[in-house]
Structure 1
């Protein structure tokens, strides 16, 4: 059985990660009624209960006990990690998995990447190695971080480069939360562009998620729940409303948004955690969905996003789930892939769904989905038999689609608005090791990425020759 390690960096990364561990425990407790430590649990949890020779872990209060998450938690402020350690998941982590400071990165990529990256390099590597040593067969590192602040963007991408350096053969899948245009961090365009160069260079796959898209989804669901229509009451076990996930204190505005990202994470790891008739190996995601090394940004969409009171699920509703996965309202970035070009697409299905159902829906949807000419059959399918708690089935679609260029183009525009005025630049250039060339190289990297997507878009509906393919694959 393979294992994976989750690396949570910064406030957002740790909040989302904490929510994932809570939901994952619920799923395993729901399936594993006897609470025995088994292969499914070992994929993301390790058993530290030495008191029982059979390695049993008991379900107490709905949770399987004596487990430690295969995780490394990093933040340069103590707040969120301290909340986790005071909450119901405090037994899941020990001091060897945690690294905190008190002063934070001041919303400055350079402080996170250069200052803290240098100061804590050895400690970070040590914690990553310890986490890896607890795995019999390490398959993947998952990194969760945000792009707008200083620690998530700066130290998060430093950790990513350390993972490549220390474990070059282990797959690196990154979930990156992109700021909205109205982000309250004025320097977020700088931080995001500087981080993007690192993501492009050092990640195997990046799942971009936009804060604005999450906020729009939460607003739509809340509107539906207050519409007064019969059968539109949202359940407690929906994606949106299902507790805070191990954090103490009153509910915060971002809890519902973090919850959606945690469910994305829950579904992408499901085939590694449970059995299925057609399980998708995590390494297969990059292998099948990334035809060019730099173009590894995969647009995620999730369905269902909520559980309505009418729970009967006839075939029509199953087919609707597949249609929803390609609807812009279910994308976790603000984009419409149907109007852009698909390079490849993965469907990760959970629950009692047959391969014939998947094939039927792919054939039904294919005419409306423009695929690149040299990869018309570029579909990857995974079937996991265990649905999320409270659902009969669920679907995560990961699309390698040129529509991501819109997110990157808007980010570049916000970057130039600041950079043309040299606004706040001195805060970065005063950091040891930081030079202005980092900015020009980072924006050049993003612009090159946008051009490569535009070049592919221009081939829509035509046969693509080998020469341009080689240009992109440099």
Structure 2
């Protein structure tokens, strides 16, 4: 069985990443009614015994005990990561998976890439290695970041280069959120161009997403959930929009 590690960098990367973990749990809960730790969960989650001091991991096939996301969360501001740690999915992450600062990158690619990239290099590598050590057969890294912000674009692409340096044989798939045309951050075009060069150098696959398209999708889903055209209505308990399923699954199903 192969595993993947999700690396979330910056405010946007961690917000999108948190939504991924929530949706993954809720969708899996719809098909896994017996609460078994199967291969699908094993690809992105560890099943650990929280009653032991070392958090011994359980193999595939047994009952779900306590799921830990195969993830690394990086941000040079604490706000979004703190929100995750205080939210319904807080038990999926621990201190060994987190790396934060307090000042941010000031929407400056160079600050994120050069300043914080150099200052936190060893800590980032150590955190990535710990995540990789929990995998039996590491298949790929999924990096989620924005192109317009300083931390997402600058430190995000620095992390990408470190992944290539430390794990050259492991595939690197990047989801990059591009700023919309109405973006009010004056440096976002420059950050995007500088980050794009790094993506062409170090990524195996890039999945570009435009921020305004995400906003439009969210608006459309909200409209459909509140009685859109006949035949296009989304039920309130649907895994797409329900805000309760993931929290319930992560807290009580184990």
Match of 1:38 in 2: 38
Once the two structures are superposed, residues 176-199 of structure 1 have per-residue CA deviations (whole angstroms, 9 ceiling, x without a partner) of 000001102111001000000000
Q: TM-score, normalised by structure 1?
A: 0.48
2:213 matches 1:213:
yes
- Whether the 8 Å contact between 1:4 and 1:43 is mirrored in structure 2 is yes
Cα distance, 1:57–1:48 mapped onto 2, change above 3 Å: closer
Q: Provide the C-alpha distance between the structure 1 equivalents of 2:73 and 2:202, rounded to a whole number of angstroms.
A: 20
Distance in 1 (CA, whole Å) between partners of 2:201 and 2:244 is 34
Count of aligned pairs between the two proteins: 250
Q: 1:473 to 1:36 in 2, by over 3 A?
A: closer
> 1:175 offset after TM fit, Å?
0.2
For the structure 1 residues 177 and 237, does the alpha-carbon distance in structure 2 shift closer, same or farther, using more than 3 Å as the test? farther
Report what 1:29 is aligned to. Answer: 29
8 A Cα contact 1:18 1:245, kept in partner:
no
Larger Rg: 1
> How much is the aligned-residue C-alpha RMSD, in angstroms?
7.5
Query: Alpha carbons of 1:178 and 1:64: their partners in 2 closer, same or farther (altered >3 Å)?
Result: farther
In structure 2, the CA distance between the partners of 1:35 and 1:472, relative to structure 1 (3 Å rule), is closer
Going from structure 1 to structure 2, the CA distance change for 1:11 and 1:65 (only over 3 Å counts) comes to farther
Distance 1:75 1:221 in 2: 29
2: distance between equivalents of 1:113 and 1:54? 34
- Note closer, same or farther for the CA distance 1:192–1:244 as it changes in structure 2 (3 Å cut): farther
In 2: Cα distance, 1:153 partner to 1:190 partner:
10
Distance apart, 1:238 and its partner CA = 4.7
Q: Is the 8 A contact 1:36 1:55 kept in 2?
A: no
Distance 1:189 1:91, change over 3 A: same
The 8 Å contact of residues 12 and 145 in structure 2, kept in 1 or not, is answered as yes
2:12/2:146 contact within 8 Å kept: yes
**56 and 161 in structure 1: CA distance in 2 versus 1, 3 angstrom threshold:** closer
Cα distance change, pair 66–232 in 1 and its aligned pair in 2 (3 A)? same
CA, structure 1 residues 152+473, in 2 after alignment: closer, same or farther (shift >3 Å)? farther
Q: Do the aligned partners of 2:48 and 2:65 also contact (CA within 8 Å) in 1?
A: no
Could you list the runs of 5+ residues in structure 2 that have no partner in the other structure? none
Aligned position for 1:188: 188
CA distance in 1: counterparts of 2:121 and 2:225, whole angstroms:
47
Instruction: Identify if the C-alpha distance between structure 1 residues 28 and 59 changes in structure 2 by more than 3 Å, giving closer, same or farther.
Output: farther
The alpha-carbon distance between structure 1 residues 139 and 62, as it changes in their structure 2 partners (threshold 3 A), is: closer
Describe the SS at the equivalent of 1:60: coil
Task: Work out the CA distance in 1 between the residues paired with 2:34 and 2:58.
Answer: 7
Deviation at 1:16, TM superposition (A): 0.9
CA deviations on 1:305-352 (whole Å, 9 max, x unpaired) are xxxxxxxxxxxxxxxxxxxxxxxxxxxxxxxxxxxxxxxxxxxxxxxx
How far apart in 2 are the matches of 1:38 and 1:113? 38
Query: CA separation in 2, counterparts of 1:182 and 1:13?
Result: 20
Larger RCO (alpha carbons 8 Å, 6+ apart) = 2
The alpha-carbon deviation at position 170 of structure 1 amounts to: 0.2
Query: How many Å separate the matches in 2 of 1:224 and 1:69?
Result: 31
